[in-house]
Amino acid sequence: MLLIRGGGLATAAAFGLTACVSPPRSDAGADAESCPVGFLGDAAASPELEVQALLADDTIATVHDGDSVAMLLPPQGGRVIFAGVRATNVDACALQLRGALRDPGTSAVMFDMRTINLTPTGDGWGASATSATSISEAIASFSNIPTCPNNWSSTDVYGNAYVLEVTIIDRGKRELTKTVQVTPECGQPENLAECLCICRAGYITGQACSDGGD
Amino acid sequence: MTDCSASIRRKLLVGALILCGAGATTACGPGTQAPPSPNPMPVDPAQLAAPAAGKGLQLKTEAFVVDPGSEVQACYFFKVADLASAAGFDPTKPVDVHRVQIVQRAGSHHMNLFRVRTIKNLDPANGAVQTGVNGQGQCFVSSNWADWPLIANDQGPGAEDWSYPDGVVNELNPTDYPDETLMLQTHFVNASTQQTPSGLGQVAMNLWTLPADQVTAQMGTVFATNQSIRICQGISTPSYSATCHFNNSAPVTVVGANGHFHSRGTEFDIYAWDGTTTGVPDVSARFYQSTTWDEPPMLHSPALEANVPAGGGIVYSCQYQWQPPPNAIGCAGLDTIDLSKSPMATPDCCYRFGPQVDVNEHCNAFVYYYPKQDNVNCF
């Protein structure tokens, strides 16, 4: 398992979970939006956020400067960093989440942007997910930052320092970006060789990894 | 949803492919001889005339039945050498495609023409025509053609006729790819959100060529799919943005584009991207927009010529308006599919990525550009 230095594991217990009550289901019409969470925290205060990432064991970690982050195999293929947030003083409904990984040497970047609802954690904060979550669940509520195949970075994506940038924008246009220096690593031992192959500098998309790529 | 698969399988008239051309041994009926260019475009694919000998290839399906309440997706396989020989070409020489004509019957959801590469569960060896019905069958499974390069696509009824910029071709080279196979995929819908008025599907296309001494650049294509979408009742107007990185050392020119989603899609945008900026680019970088899910525009040169800077690529964005599913499916039906993909997910009447228009959504971008790049990443 890939461990995060400094941040520790942010698990369900750490959040003091509050159940998210599902609203009545509607087959009635398109206007029947059902996001019961509303605003989290203090509307007069500036937004705050913590960067989170999914680990290979389905736990969620808070990411700090100098931490490692896991690159995982998503259903769509390649490798991604599942980057999420824990945030407060924001509208939790229809929040725009943007995650990006930047090569500090060239400024080249890969990013993914999507709309999510934060799940409240009962303390005025909300998160992309509040407990252990599988990859198949995380694809919808975490930014899927596509790190590999690596046709974009000047160095191997694994084992080198990159900048992880996470931005939230709520419906009231409150916006906050947080950047942390991270070291991506191949997060799943069961497919380590393929990860090391497709994430190395100079990999050509579609190249067979048995051709010495690993 | 009505399961008409058995009935449709009985009725499918897909026993024969038609390889047309002046040199073909199969009779193609009236109109076999190529008319003078520009070739007039019929509305009936059966009436699309083949190019003259040595001028181009024709690929045409038979008409097949699309019963009410059903979606039919058929994958037709063609050997390039067979097509070339039938059309009067030397099959050992490259075929340089410069102009594409496509005619489909009304009711077409899409057609794509791919170059077969890694074979997974959709193997041409299993038959020249492999048909799926209502989401079942390998012709519906997109992972089967994940690395198959796109040649051409179209999503609307009627006709498409596009000549690439001067000197630009999409080359089918038997030296690089001996025994190359093409896959023409056609998807017709006769269900709740889209209908096939005649109950018949059919597609025909001509690939006109350019003499080798006139070729100046190779066409590159991008087929990008954002598979991590989930359109749920609890976020009624979500949007998703993803990228393709071209790894281009010099600028490239985008000359064709279209976007594809289903009936919850409200706006599809594609932008030129510099490779260093995050977020949706400024509107000045947008080269494609569609607000019509069932008949998205196909933009191409000369009207479309967009510059992508060195080290750049594209950003494509899909916006949706959640809609309740058809009564026959209901939220229970969507939840069943959702949970099959993610057993621990909280059900919320969500549409996940997939091919069936009534129960799935898509966010697929098709981009044509030159000169071709060899290391494009759309994951």
Residue type, B368: Y
> Is the pLDDT score of A25 beyond 60?
no
The residue written with tokens 């010495």 in the block is A212
A206: in domain: no
Evaluate whether A191 touches A77 at the Cβ level (below 8 Å).
no
Tell me whether 0.90 is exceeded by the ipTM.
Answer: no
Using alpha carbons, list the distances in angstroms from residue A177 to A46, A48, A98, A100, A169.
12, 9, 9, 11, 9
Using alpha carbons, list the distances in angstroms from residue B336 to A8, A34, B14, B360.
36, 19, 33, 12
For B231-273, what is each residue's pLDDT tens digit? 999 998 999 999 999 999 999 999 999 999 999 999 999 999 9
For A80-124, what is each residue's pLDDT tens digit? 999 999 999 999 999 999 999 999 999 999 999 999 999 999 999
> Is the pLDDT score of B115 beyond 80?
yes
Domains of chain A: total = 1
> Is the pLDDT score of B122 beyond 80?
yes
Average pLDDT of chain B to the nearest whole number? 89
For B57-91, what is each residue's pLDDT tens digit? 999 999 999 999 999 999 999 999 999 999 999 99
Please tell me whether residue A100 adopts helix, strand or coil conformation.
Answer: strand
Evaluate whether B132 touches B185 at the Cβ level (below 8 Å).
no
Q: Which residues contact A190 (CB under 8 A, 6 or more apart)?
A: none
With b meaning 16 or more CB within 10 Å and e meaning fewer, what string describes B324-359? bbeeebebebbbebbeebbeebebbbbbbbbbbbbb
- Strands B64-65 vs B200-201: parallel, antiparallel or unpaired: antiparallel
Q: What is the rounded distance in angstroms from the CA atom of residue B310 to the CA atom of residue B36? A: 40
Point out which residues pair with B149 in neighbouring strands: none
User: Would you call B243 and A108 a contact, using CB atoms and an 8 Å cutoff?
Assistant: no
Domain of residue A61, residue span = 9-16+37-198
Q: Please give the pLDDT value at position B39.
A: 65
Residues of chain A with Cβ-Cβ distance to B362 below 8 Å are none
Q: What is the rounded distance in angstroms from the CA atom of residue A153 to the CA atom of residue A166? A: 19
> Beta-carbon neighbour count of residue B246 at 10 Å?
28
Number of H helices, E strands in chain A: 3, 14
The pair phi, psi for residue B7, each rounded to 5°, is -60, -45
Q: Please give the pLDDT value at position B188.
A: 93
Does the CB of A17 have a partner CB in chain B at under 8 Å?
no
**What DSSP letter does each residue of A187-208 carry, written as one string?**
--GGGHHHHHHHTSTT--TT--
pLDDT band at B40 (very low <50, low <70, confident <90, very high): confident
For B282-336, what is each residue's pLDDT tens digit? 999 999 999 999 889 999 999 999 999 999 999 999 999 999 999 999 999 999 9
Q: Please, which residues 89-108 of chain A have a Cβ atom closer than 8 Å to chain B?
A: 93-94, 96, 98, 100, 107-108
Q: Which residues contact A5 (CB under 8 A, 6 or more apart)?
A: A64, A66, A67, A68
Most B-contacting residue of A31, A101, A115 (CB-CB within 10 A), to test interface: A115
Q: What is the pTM of this model?
A: 0.87
Does the CB of A109 have a partner CB in chain B at under 8 Å?
yes
> Is the pLDDT score of B31 beyond 70?
no
A23: in domain: no
For B276, the closest chain A residue by CA position comes to: A108
User: Would you call A33 and B147 a contact, using CB atoms and an 8 Å cutoff?
Assistant: no
Using alpha carbons, list the distances in angstroms from residue B92 to A189, B89, B348.
46, 9, 55
For B183-218, what is each residue's pLDDT tens digit? 999 999 998 878 998 999 999 999 999 999 999 999
Evaluate whether A152 touches A198 at the Cβ level (below 8 Å).
no
Residue type, B10: R
Query: How distant is the Cα of A150 from the closest Cα of chain B, in angstroms?
Result: 8
A149: in domain: yes
Closest CA to B348 of A32, A204, A131: A32
Architecture of domain B220-324+355-370: Sandwich (2.60)
Mean pLDDT of A129-146: 90
Q: What is the rounded distance in angstroms from the CA atom of residue B71 to the CA atom of residue B188? A: 6
Point out which residues pair with B136 in neighbouring strands: B133
Vertex B52 angle, CA B47 and B55, to 5°: 120
> Beta-carbon neighbour count of residue B212 at 10 Å?
12
A205: in domain: no
User: Would you call A133 and B230 a contact, using CB atoms and an 8 Å cutoff?
Assistant: no
With b meaning 16 or more CB within 10 Å and e meaning fewer, what string describes A29-66? eeebbbbebebbbeeeeebbbbbbbbbbebbbbbbbee
As a residue count, chain B comes to: 379
Point out which residues pair with B288 in neighbouring strands: B270
Q: Which residues contact B123 (CB under 8 A, 6 or more apart)?
A: none
Query: What torsion, rounded to 10 degrees, do the Cα atoms B186, B187, B188, B189 define?
Result: 180
User: Would you call B278 and A111 a contact, using CB atoms and an 8 Å cutoff?
Assistant: yes
A2: in domain: no
Q: What is the rounded distance in angstroms from the CA atom of residue B186 to the CA atom of residue B182? A: 13
Q: What is the rounded distance in angstroms from the CA atom of residue B6 to the CA atom of residue B111? A: 23
Q: How many contacts does A have with B, using Cβ atoms within 8 A?
A: 147
- Domain edges within chain B: 5-212, 220-324+355-370
The residue written with tokens 């694809």 in the block is A139
Establish whether the linkage from the previous residue to A149 is cis, with ω within 30° of 0: yes
A88: in domain: yes
Residues of chain B with Cβ-Cβ distance to A117 below 8 Å are 234-235
> Beta-carbon neighbour count of residue B33 at 10 Å?
12
